[in-house]
Amino acid sequence: MRTVLRLLVAFILAAPSSFAAQSNEIAPGDNLVVEGIPKIPAALAESASRYTHFRYGYLASWHPTKREMLISIEFGETPQIHALKFPGGARTQLTFYADYVSGGIYQPKKGGCFIFSKDTNGDEFNRLYRYDIATAEITLLTDGKSRNESPVWSNSGEWLMYGSTRRNGTDMDLYVINPLEPKSNRMLAQLEGGFWIPYDWSPDDSKALIYQHISATENNLWIIDVKTGEKNLLTPQEGNKQTAYWLGQFSKDGKGVYVTTDPDSEFQRLAYIDFATKQYKVLTDRLQADVDEFDLSSDGKTLAYVSNEEGIGRLHLLDLETCGEKPAPKLPTGVVSGIKWHPNGRELGCAHLLRIAWTAWCRI
């Protein structure tokens, strides 16, 4: 029976969706070889579909001045961007594409537009677009041919940095653009070797934190000068020892960065790297679990982070002045992801997965 159930799931995923409507039985896909397995009724596949299809959502971005947010949620075949104006409020769908839409990042300071990305017919070549709130007009910002990843707004809300394969279709170089003036698009740095994407801007927007992916066990963080494109390695590898740095964000004073890393540990831990000394200080040394993500509050005093404790997401608040834990909201047992502070520093948003997915926010 277990074999039949496993194959049923495989058939649902591999077989065209029209099979159930055209026949009383599920036919295996051409890539499956089946021997000695009984035929599976289409009615059983239809009943099982409630467990193989589910709706999910995540918090895309907070409005910089209002108590509103953009969320990505699937109401149909693909996720789209929606506006949510208050807790428990009705969503307002803003994008209507057959393609998968991701992002939805409000312009800082004013919030007059947001940036989103989508590919075409599943080609995975993401294009970047600007959505104007007042008019609902959508403007293509990239060339429509290359793969473009991880757009990050500057703190001023004037510039957007992103990675793109525009130069040769393979290497991910860094570009900056004023989204309100698409012709301002320019290459910031030509990069080779590994997968490069921007993580964050320094508080004064003069530098950027760049992530370089080499392998599952070796990743680097670089600091790049936004005016000159000169880059400096922040996390040199020691000898033959491979170290992974997965996440990074500038401190409020710009004198260092918060990261997740795994030196001398089997877990990804929160740490702080001081620019002056190039030394790192572990902030979650007592935690025996991976830190999956984190976000720094606008006043720079609190780090919200999520630990993966045997598959359960635990929300934590770290007081950076005392390095002690602060009381965190008690969420139901489940998976917590996409944590983001509102610029007011008093509210924290996240996606919480229990049986269904929804976007929530809470006061701290």
Percent of the chain with pLDDT over 90: 63
pLDDT band at residue 197 using 50, 70 and 90 as cut-offs: very high
Give the separation between CA 292 and CA 269, rounded to whole angstroms: 9
Give the separation between CA 356 and CA 358, rounded to whole angstroms: 7
pLDDT band at residue 76 using 50, 70 and 90 as cut-offs: confident
- What are the chain's domains? 2-51 (no CATH), 244-364 (2.120.10.30)
Q: 63 or 36: whose pLDDT is higher?
A: 63
Q: What is the pTM of this model?
A: 0.83
Q: What is the mean pLDDT of residues 342-350?
A: 93
Question: Chain-wide mean pLDDT for the chain?
Answer: 87
Distances (CA, A) of 306 to 70, 301, 353, 361: 21, 17, 13, 15
Nearest Cα neighbor of 271 from 252, 253, 297, 245 is 245
Yes or no: say if 318 and 325 are a contact pair by the CB < 8 Å rule: yes
10 pLDDT above the threshold of 60: no
Choose the most confident range, by mean pLDDT, from 61-65, 86-90, 211-215, 311-315: 61-65
For 208-227, the pLDDT digits (tens) are 999 999 888 888 999 999 99
* 35: Cβ contacts below 8 Å, ≥ 6 apart: none
